[in-house]
Amino acid sequence: MDTHLGQWLNLALRWGHVITGVAWIGTSFYFNWLNSRLAPPPPERAEPGVAGELWSVHGGGFYRVVKYAVAPTRLPPTLHWFKWEAYATWLTGFALLAWVYYVGAAAYLVDPQVSRLGPRAAIAVGLGTLLGAWVVYDALCRSRLANSPLALAATLFVLGTGLAWGLTQLLAPRAAYLHVGAALGTIMAANVLMVIIPSQRDMVTALTEGRAPDAARGAQAALRSLHNNYFTLPVLFIMVSSHYPETYGHTLSWLILAGLALVGVATRHWFNLRNEGRPNGWLLPGAALAMVALAVVTAPRRADRTGAYERAGANPTAGNTASFAEVRVIMARRCAPCHSAAPTVPGLTTPPRGVAFDTPEQIRTRADRILVMAATTHTMPLGNVTGMTDEERALVARWIRAGALLR
Ligand code: HEC
C-alpha cells in the first residue's frame, strides 16, 4: 500500500485503540473505586437486598448508585453490560500489531543482530505468543495452583519474565517488548470474553430461573478480574515503551521490563489498598525509588555520555579514530535517505518523527539518540534498508562517546 495511506491507517487504528482502551480501563477503574466506596444505606432508605449505596456529583448532576447483595428480585428491562470496550480494545490493538509488526515485519519485527529468524518465522512466534500465553494462563488458573492466589501470581510473574527473556532472544527489541504487552492484553480480553461475561450471564439466567448461580464460576470470574486489575499498569507501560530505547535497548531489557512491571503492580496495589480504606504509606515511595534505581542501573557508563571527555578536560581525539567528516558521510548515506527535509526514499515526504540529519548541528544535538538507535540497539536504520555495516555503527558510536565534536 501507498506509504502515506499506510500511515493514515496506522493513525486510525492507533487512535481507535487508545479511545477504546481508555473506555475499558476507565470503566474498570471506576467500578473498582465504586465497589470500595459503597456504604450500607441509612435505615430510612433501607431496601430489601440492597447491600450498599453511593452518592456522587459529576458533570452537573447528582447520582445515586445502589448495589444488591445478590441480585434484585426482578430484573429491569435494560441491563448494561461492559464488554465491548474490552473486545474493541483487543481488536484494534491486534489490527495495529498486525499492520505495524507483521506487514512491516522486515523493518519492525526481525533483527538479524538478535536472531536469524526470517519475517515469516517471526510472525509465527508473535502469533504463537498470543495464543500460547492464553492457553498456559487459562490452564494455570483452572489448576490447583489457583487455590493459592499468591503462588499463582508468583508463577505468572516468573513465566511472564521468562517470556520476555525468550522474545528478546528472537525478535527485534521493540517487538519483543510489545509482544509481552500484547500477550497480557490478549489474556485480559479473553478473561472478559471466556470467563467473566459467561459467569455474569449465568448469574442472570440463574436469577430468572430462580436457582442459585454457579459459585465456582463466580470464583473464577473474580480471580480473572483481579488479574486484569493488576495487569493494567504494566500493559500501559509496554504500550508506550517504543518511545524509550533506554528500556528495550538495554542488554538486560527483559529484566528491566520485569522491574517496571513490579513498579506497575505495586502502584495498582497502592490504589487497591487505598480503595479498601487501608492506605499504605510505603508502596508509592517504594515504586518511585525502584524507578530511580532502574534509571541508575541502566545509565550509560560515564565515558558513554556525550561531552564527558570534553568536560573532563581530556584530549577528545586521544584514542579516537573517528572524525566528524567520516560520520557525516555515514549519516548522509545511511540515515538521510529518510531523515532529511527532502527524503529520497519513495513514499516519504517529511523526515520521520521530524528527525532530520541534514546539518552538522542536527547530527550533534541528537547524538545521544543516534547512539542508542543505531549503535546500542539496531532499531535504525529501519529494517537496515540502507545497509549500514557494523563497522559504521562502531565508528559513529566511537565519535559520540568521544564527545560528538564537529571536527
Ligand atoms: C528507511 C527509513 C529510515 C532510515 C534509513 C532511518 N530511519 Fe530513523 N526513523 C524512521 C522512521 C519511520 C522513524 C519513526 C518511526 C519509528 O520510530 O519506527 C524513525 C525514527 C528515528 C528516530 C526518532 C525515534 C525516537 O524515539 O527518538 C531517530 C533518533 C532515528 N530514527 C535515527 C536514525 C538514524 C541514526 C539512522 C541512520 C543510522 C536512521 N534513523 C535511519 C525511518 C528511518
Pick the closest to residue 75 from 204, 199, 218 (CA basis): 204
As given in the structure block, the three cell numbers for residue 239 are 504500550
Whats the size of the chain, residue-wise?
407
Does residue 3 line the site of ligand 1, with CB under 6 A? no
Residues 213, 206 contacting (CB under 8 angstroms): yes
The pLDDT value given to residue 320 = 56
- Positive or negative, the CA dihedral 260, 262, 265, 269 is negative
Phi, psi (rounded to 5 degrees) for 209: -90, -5
Q: What is the pLDDT along the chain (407 residues), one digit of tens a residue?
A: 677 888 899 999 999 999 999 999 999 999 988 988 899 989 888 888 888 999 999 999 999 999 988 778 788 889 899 999 999 999 999 999 999 999 999 889 998 888 999 999 999 999 999 999 999 999 999 999 999 999 999 999 999 999 999 999 999 999 999 999 999 999 999 999 999 999 999 999 998 888 888 889 999 999 999 999 999 999 999 999 999 988 998 889 999 999 999 999 999 999 999 988 888 889 999 999 999 999 998 887 654 444 444 444 444 444 557 899 999 999 999 999 999 999 998 888 889 989 999 999 999 999 989 998 998 888 899 888 899 999 999 999 999 989 999 88
Name which residue sits closest to atom 6 of ligand 1, judged by CA.
381
As given in the structure block, the three cell numbers for residue 247 are 528500556
Q: What is the pLDDT of residues 97-153, one digit of tens each?
A: 999 999 999 889 998 888 999 999 999 999 999 999 999 999 999 999 999 999 999
The residue type of 144 is R
Residues 36, 277 contacting (CB under 8 angstroms): yes
Pick the closest to residue 99 from 8, 161, 218 (CA basis): 8
Pick the closest to residue 231 from 156, 141, 147, 152 (CA basis): 156
Does residue 393 line the site of ligand 1, with CB under 6 A? no
Does residue 375 line the site of ligand 1, with CB under 6 A? no
The pLDDT value given to residue 251 = 87
As given in the structure block, the three cell numbers for residue 402 are 568521544
Q: CA–CA separation, 56 vs 190, rounded Å?
A: 32
Does residue 381 line the site of ligand 1, with CB under 6 A? yes
Q: How far is the CA of 382 from the centre of ligand 1 (A)?
A: 6
Q: CA–CA separation, 82 vs 206, rounded Å?
A: 19
Name which residue sits closest to atom 11 of ligand 1, judged by CA.
352
